[in-house]
Amino acid sequence: PVPQINWRRTDGLPFPSKIKLRKSNGMIEIPNFQQEDAGLYECITENSRGKNIARGRLTYYAKPHWIQPIKDVEVAVEDTLYWDCRASGKPKPSYRWLKNGEQLAIEGRIQIENGALTISNLNLTDSGRYQCIAENKHGVISSSAELQVVASAPDFSKSPMKRLIQVQIGSTVDFECKPKAFPKAKCSWKKGGEQLHENER
């Protein structure tokens, strides 16, 4: 006789309400498929003469999608660059880096780990156009950005000290020493040509 047909998940989880059965339960429909819908499914058929089960695995995949693309950066010479490049995907994407269109060579100063690029002790030749490529067997995406390594001697033109500061006796006075400098400048203070040393005041 015509069998009865039922469906279930092998892991025993109940079907969400969105799942629909069609044509006397012979067809299962899963709208808006999500990762949690993946798994092993069973079709159970039964009549007065016996029972049979057919199993099928439903797998989820997704091409890479950016979680964190790279953006243009300006970094001081001798500093360390850390560029995090992250994408989602199923299976998990792998990463490659290019500099000015050519494969980036991994060496002592230059390391790549889980998509993140680290370049220590930057020099001017590290400047250029970098590209992070994320890929799995379902797709490839890329993100590009400019690295500018900058070097300059200390410059007070944009943050000069005031030539005259008037304060009341007994009050506190603050002087700021903030030159523009790459790498960061070391600052020291003098009063009338004599080196100042830190004390309780």
Nearest to 35 by CA among 65, 62, 60, 67: 60
Can you name the residues that pair with 39 across neighbouring β-strands? 58
Measured in whole angstroms, how far is the alpha carbon of residue 57 from the centre of its chain?
32
Cα–Cα distance for residue pair 36/38, rounded to 1 Å:
5
> What is the model's pLDDT at position 161?
78
Residue numbers of the domain that contains 52: 4-58
With residue 152 as reference, give the H or E element that holds it.
strand 152-155
Q: How many domains would you assign to the chain?
A: 2
> What is the model's pLDDT at position 12?
87
Instruction: Say yes or no: 54 and 69 in one domain.
Output: no
Distance set, CA 100 to CA 104, 128, 146, 182, 185 (Å): 9, 6, 10, 24, 31
Instruction: Say yes or no: 94 and 122 in one domain.
Output: yes
Instruction: Say yes or no: 67 and 54 in one domain.
Output: no
**In the chain, which residues have pLDDT < 70?**
182
Confidence (pTM): 0.63
> What is the model's pLDDT at position 192?
84
- 135-95-58 Cα angle (round to 5): 40
Instruction: Say yes or no: 34 and 113 in one domain.
Output: no
> What is the model's pLDDT at position 93?
95
Q: Would 161 be classed as within a structural domain?
A: no
> What is the model's pLDDT at position 180?
76
- 112-124 pLDDT, tens digit per residue, is 998 899 999 999 9
